[in-house]
Amino acid sequence: MSEDQANSPREGALAGLKVLDIGTFIAAPFAATLMAEHGAEVLKIELPEVGDHARRLGTPSEAGDTFVWLSEARNKRSVTLDLRKPEGVALFKDLVAKADIVCENFQAGTLEKWGLGWDVLSGVNPRLILLRISGYGQTGPYANRPCFGRIANAFGGISFLSGEADRPPAQPGSATLSDYMAGLFGAYAAQLALRARDRDGQGQVIDVALYDGIFRILDEVAPAFQKGGYVRRRDGAETPIVVPHSHYPTGDERWIAIACTNDRIFGRLARLMDRPDLIDDPRYATNGARLKNRGAVNGMIADWTATMTRDEALKRCSDAEVPCGPVYGIDEIFEDPHYAARGNILRVEDPRVGEIAIPNVVPTLTGTPGAVRWLGPRLGEHTEAVYGAWLGLSPERIADLRARGIV
């Protein structure tokens, strides 16, 4: 490779990939967004006059659509089409013939009801990859039940673990956690399916339940129960298998997270606290002993952190190589120099809302970095352009379809 080639801009890793996003809200659309960030051409297909419900989810912006929509529909081209009508189904099949991936997250059986099941779509395009995200998956006794993120968080097991021990189960940060997890696994699975298609030329169906990703990240909860009958319960800020590993108050009424995942790190913390005696004390010398004396350990650390401001505690822990971090609110994230240095917060100029700050693309690729080219589009903004370029429809034909509510 020449020096000029090495230094020249490269297309996004997924450039040339054609994706049809017919999902709603977060899960499947998020999978499509991840692909759009890395160069895929994603058509967001929405019901005429109505659009994706995510346009109305969250805080309204000056554009009329919410901040959720502007951020999460980034880089997509909005096309209207009514899949409930026979002529809309026919047009969709024409798009499918040219697509690589279809992303959907309707209740199981919905595509089949519209005459767009896998048997039909694969007949149109044998190389197609169909990503299906639904509440309980395409199989099993609960497949036809309605489900949203909060329900999947609860069913997946993470809500039961969230909150204080003496309080009811809490929401694990966000009701949409399971949607984003399912979308992330869906996007990953789509790349696996593309790799398999490169090998044998065949498309396939991806079946992701909304709760699947939640259950997958519960570390040892399943084997610990199966082998020993241990049912993990709510521990608030604690981690049930390691001590100390929690949030501790500071003198300026803030919080610091400290994580001592082994005895060696606890030794560093003990010396930092001027308590080297704890290192050899049988009550605290090992993690197993500290688990039995959790309250005493956490009490000593909380008393120590309360003597300092958060910034002082962070500096002292960092200097001593004790893993620590601030417990941030979003206002503090915006002020943090590390977020700024890594460009985690992306500021995008949009003619509808002016400058808007959104989370930047993840992950960072050095050779083919992802990008945000535009925010969530207006409903049907690209209908004429897409139907003309993809299907060769004339402006008159598109106008007729629009007049009859097909697009």
Question: 170: closest CA among 156, 159, 155, 181?
Answer: 159
Which residue of the set 65, 82, 179, 207 is catalytic?
A: 179
Judge: domain 245-327, CATH 3.40.640.10: no
The 8-class DSSP code of residue 209 comes to E
DSSP alpha helix (H) spans, 219-309: 221-228, 263-272, 277-280, 287-292, 294-305
Q: To which CATH superfamily is domain 16-216+345-403 assigned?
A: Crotonobetainyl-coa:carnitine coa-transferase; domain 1 (3.40.50.10540)
Cβ distance 44 to 78 under 8 Å? yes
Give the β-pairing of 245-249 and 255-259. antiparallel
CB-count burial class (<10 Å; 0-12, 13-18, 19+) for 267: middle
- Mean pLDDT for the stretch of residues 173-183: 97
pLDDT at 7: 54
* Average pLDDT over all residues of the chain: 96
Give the β-pairing of 101-104 and 18-21. parallel
Q: Where are the beta strands (DSSP E) in 14-142?
A: 18-21, 41-46, 76-80, 101-104, 129-134
pLDDT at 1: 40
Count CA atoms closer than 13 A to 373's CA, side-chain side.
17
φ, ψ for residue 208 (rounded to 5)? -120, 125
pLDDT at 9: 66
pLDDT band at 4 (very low <50, low <70, confident <90, very high): very low
pLDDT band at 2 (very low <50, low <70, confident <90, very high): very low
The two tokens of residue 173 are 């940060």
Question: 31: closest CA among 70, 72, 67, 66?
Answer: 72
CB-count burial class (<10 Å; 0-12, 13-18, 19+) for 168: exposed
pLDDT, one tens digit per residue, over 310-336 is 999 999 999 999 999 999 999 999 999
CB atoms inside a 10 Å sphere around CB 252: 12
pLDDT at 8: 60
Distance from the Cα of residue 112 to its chain's centroid = 27
- Mean pLDDT for the stretch of residues 149-155: 98
Percent of the chain with pLDDT over 70: 98
- Specify the residue for token string 């977060």: 26
pLDDT band at 402 (very low <50, low <70, confident <90, very high): very high
Q: In the chain, where are the structural domains located?
A: 16-216+345-403, 245-327
pLDDT at 10: 85
Percent of the chain with pLDDT over 90: 98
pLDDT at 318: 98
Question: 384: closest CA among 374, 375, 394?
Answer: 394
- Specify the residue for token string 């050899």: 280
pLDDT, one tens digit per residue, over 214-264 is 999 999 999 999 999 999 999 999 999 999 999 999 999 999 999 999 999
3-state secondary structure of 350: strand
Question: Is the model's pLDDT at 203 over the cut of 60?
Answer: yes
Distance of alpha carbon 89 from alpha carbon 222, whole angstroms: 43
| Catalytic site includes residue 235 | no
